[in-house]
Amino acid sequence: MANDNGLVDEYEKLLVLKKEIETKEEDLKNRIIELAKQNNTNILFGTKMKCAIKEYDKVVYPEDKSQIISLMKQMGIYEKYSMINYMGFNSAILKGLIDKEIVDLVRKDKTFRVSIKEI
């Protein structure tokens, strides 16, 4: 094993800090939304910045999408609105499960994943 010169510990501290910041960010966002609702406004002003708050509709699909997919196929709109599952497709390419004709159209690069866990 090689000495990390403190890099792993520093990385772990940043991950913890990032999680804390994301939690605080979400809390502040919720408080801003509540304040805007209470004041019946869509703009709040800080000392240097203004914040726009906009409510919008978000489509939420059921966990089991088979009925939607089946109906889309019956109506002939599935091909128009479906898309590639890149995670699954990438895995199949790397495992050699996809025809060479398709594989020849993509590029495989080397990259790194860095993860940490307690020892």
Token reading at 22: 């994301």
Under 8 Å CB-to-CB from 41, ≥6 apart: which residues? 53
Under 8 Å CB-to-CB from 89, ≥6 apart: which residues? 98
Residues 2-45 have pLDDT tens digits of: 788 899 999 999 999 999 999 999 999 999 999 999 999 999 99
| Confidence (pTM) | 0.68
Q: What is the mean pLDDT of residues 56-74?
A: 94
